């Protein structure tokens, strides 16, 4: 028999039923296997312990099971855990578990590398290789969830697509992963506990509106002045703030969901009074929540964090404009697991 080439997790339940029928096996086997794949998040045929060895061997003869594996694990002084994962083709991605009170958040990746080249982000400094498949995204959530239970005896409560890559440039695989994470045949997590973060791909934000998604959307804005945003987010040169505004308005009209704006505080670049005024003006078009984010050091980046006093002054201005504003403190900074830091020597070596 030739080597199998079909990923078993690409099959629907109906596809598995067809397979077992063709093999002269009982139809109920398909549901057993499907539950192992998604409800129990198995990552090998060997884990399917209530299925006979003969049936597992049959599966391995016909299907591949390219699950991701843990490559390295680091734990921060603040309890944050960063994990690097090895994919079936040898590439490396990273994910982070962020414990905070009664919340356990998984920060996961959607691409190997990134081609947007944002100037404040470590991942943007390494080359894009490929999109992740939906099952590779699912595996990150499953593994980080297991880690939360082992390390903290607490289940995963939230998921943010804020790791390596631009999720909306891997649109269909990201949405398919969310279907598996939230569906009753999978993890059954509420869509309201999932946030997808984008640099602001206007056509795909509109598509999210057309698809009437129910998860949360965060936009990495970082400046509400086109000239400044062009300098730190090259994609803004072909997708201006005007385009982004119209896309967000459309998304809100379609879904009724309030978006979150992520705003990294960069000293003497986007943190003065005119920047705060421009941000407040940008927010007039739709309901919004703003997260002001501490900048984390990235090698070869010219930027510095604004510091607590300038950040507070910036927040105070926005507060006076009756905007909902939070200051988001850095987590996992000592292990390069904080916002914008997901790219290390190991990753650069493997990409």
Contacts of 127-134 with CB under 8 Å at 24 or more apart are 127/351, 128/165, 129/91, 129/351, 130/91, 131/165, 131/169, 131/170, 131/173, 132/87, 132/93, 132/165, 132/170, 132/173, 133/7, 133/173, 134/173, 134/174, 134/176, 134/177, 134/180
Query: Per the residue annotation, which of 94, 133, 136, 166 is the catalytic one?
Result: 94
Query: Per the residue annotation, which of 107, 114, 283, 339 is the catalytic one?
Result: 339
* Active site annotation includes 339: yes
CA 86 to the chain's CA centroid: 17
Provide φ and ψ at 138, rounded to 5°: -55, -45
20 close to 35: Cβ distance less than 8 angstroms: no
For the chain, count helices (H), then strands (E): 11, 14
Rounded to whole angstroms, the Cα distance separating 169 from 121 reads 17
| DSSP type of residue 207 | H
Q: Which residues are designated catalytic?
A: 94, 339
């Amino acid at each position: 028999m030739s080597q199998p080439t079909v990923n078993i997790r690409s099959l629907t339940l109906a596809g598995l039923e067809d397979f077992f029928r063709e093999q002269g096996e009982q139809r109920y086997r398909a549901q057993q296997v499907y539950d192992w794949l998604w409800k129990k998040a198995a990552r090998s045929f060997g884990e399917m312990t209530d299925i006979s060895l003969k049936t597992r061997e049959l599966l391995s003869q016909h299907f591949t099971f390219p699950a991701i594996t843990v490559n390295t694990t680091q734990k921060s002084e603040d309890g944050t855990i960063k994990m690097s994962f090895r994919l079936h083709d040898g590439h490396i991605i990273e994910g982070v578990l962020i414990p905070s009170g009664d919340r356990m958040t998984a920060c996961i990746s959607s691409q190997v590398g990134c081609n947007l080249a944002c100037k404040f982000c470590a991942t943007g400094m390494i080359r894009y290789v490929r999109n992740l498949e939906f099952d590779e995204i699912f595996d990150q959530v499953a593994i980080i969830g297991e880690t939360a239970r082992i390390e903290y005896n607490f289940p995963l409560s939230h998921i943010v697509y804020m790791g390596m890559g631009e999720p909306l440039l891997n649109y269909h695989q990201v949405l398919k992963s969310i279907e598996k994470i939230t569906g009753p045949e999978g993890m059954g997590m509420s869509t309201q506990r999932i946030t997808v973060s984008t640099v602001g791909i206007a056509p795909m934000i509109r598509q999210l509106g057309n698809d009437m998604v129910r998860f949360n959307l965060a936009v990495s804005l970082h400046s509400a002045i086109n000239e400044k945003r062009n300098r730190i987010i090259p994609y803004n040169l072909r997708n201006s703030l005007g385009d982004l505004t119209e896309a967000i308005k459309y998304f809100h009209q379609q879904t009724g969901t309030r978006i979150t704006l992520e705003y990294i505080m960069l000293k003497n670049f986007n943190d003065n009074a005119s920047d705060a005024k421009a941000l407040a003006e940008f927010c007039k078009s739709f309901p919004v929540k703003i997260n002001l984010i501490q900048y984390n050091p990235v090698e070869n980046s010219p930027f510095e964090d604004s510091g607590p006093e300038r950040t507070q002054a910036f927040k105070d201005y926005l507060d006076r404009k009756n905007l909902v504003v939070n200051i988001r403190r850095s987590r996992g900074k000592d292990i390069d697991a904080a916002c914008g830091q997901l790219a290390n020597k190991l990753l650069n070596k493997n990409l």
